[in-house]
């Protein structure tokens, strides 16, 4: 059953408030309308596209918190951060991230997202990757959203070990354990 425009826009606004990083494609599927309809509804409601919403949250929340690198140097958009504990970032795979012939994401983008998240989670002015053990679990394709979650699992003097798992929806696509050097003892 299709909703009337006013009702749909009200529910659309609620859906975006509840899940600010939801895509137009996901909203179109949820409301059983075209992506163009969702875009027009968002425009009428003054709601920016998901990329702008993510950038806005990242700018507001992380510019002052990040120590080892500026927010604009993190690959993907940081959406949650607890220094020396955990962090989450989102990377929407776009044309510049994929091989043109098969639309599969280049692995170095997934690695860069995970590695920069490891640097971001360190509560220090300097954090460098010493060692990384990584596994690519499946190919990531154009227009998929990669959510990387980093968790500090061990800290010893000037070294911190960070585990990163990246998912597309609920499927694990990348995992890694990163040994990070920090300039101060913990």
What single string gives the DSSP state of each residue in 92-160? E--GGGB-TTT-BBPHHHHHHHHHHHHHHH--SS-EEEEEEEEEE-S--BTT-EEEEEEEEEEEETTEE
**What is the pLDDT at residue 163?**
98
Is 68 strand, coil or helix?
Answer: coil
Give the distance from CA 30 to its chain's centroid.
22
Phi, psi for 69 (deg, rounded to 5): -160, 155
Query: For the chain, where do the domains classified as CATH 3.10.129.10 start and end?
Result: 66-182
β-partners of residue 160 are 155, 180
Query: For the chain, where do the domains classified as CATH 1.10.10.10 start and end?
Result: 5-47
Contacts 24+ apart (CB under 8 A), 34-43: 38/12, 41/5, 41/8, 41/9, 41/12, 42/12, 42/16
**What is the pLDDT at residue 54?**
65
Per-residue pLDDT of the chain (186 residues; tens, 9 = 90+): 688 899 999 999 898 888 877 888 889 999 999 999 999 999 898 888 877 766 665 555 545 555 555 556 778 888 888 889 999 999 999 999 999 999 999 999 999 999 999 999 998 888 899 999 999 999 999 999 999 999 999 999 899 999 999 999 999 999 999 999 998 877
- Residue entry with tokens 């918190």: 65
- Pick one of 3.30.70.1520, 3.40.50.1220, 3.10.129.10, 1.10.10.10 as the CATH number of 66-182: 3.10.129.10
| CA 145 to each of CA 64, 76, 116: distance values in angstroms, whole numbers, following the listed order | 26, 10, 17
**What is the pLDDT at residue 61?**
52
| Cα gap 3→74, rounded to integer Å | 40
CATH of span 5-47 = 1.10.10.10
């Amino acid at each position: 059953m299709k909703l009337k425009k006013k009702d749909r826009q009200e529910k659309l606004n609620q859906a975006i408030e509840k899940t600010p990083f939801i895509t137009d494609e996901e909203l179109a599927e949820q409301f059983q309308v075209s992506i163009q309809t969702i875009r027009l509804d968002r425009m009428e409601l003054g709601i920016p596209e998901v990329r702008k919403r993510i950038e806005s949250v990242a700018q507001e929340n992380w510019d002052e918190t990040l120590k080892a690198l500026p927010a604009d140097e993190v690959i993907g958009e940081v959406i949650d951060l607890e220094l020396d504990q955990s962090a989450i970032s989102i990377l929407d795979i776009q044309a510049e991230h994929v091989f043109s012939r098969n639309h599969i994401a280049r692995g170095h983008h997934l690695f860069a997202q995970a590695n920069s998240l490891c640097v971001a989670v360190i509560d220090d002015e300097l954090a460098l990757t010493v060692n990384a053990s990584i596994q690519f679990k499946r190919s990531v394709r154009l227009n998929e959203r990669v959510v990387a979650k980093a968790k500090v699992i061990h800290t010893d003097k000037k070294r911190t070990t960070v585990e990163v798992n990246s998912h597309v929806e609920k499927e694990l696509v990348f995992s890694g354990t990163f040994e990070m050097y920090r300039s101060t003892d913990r």
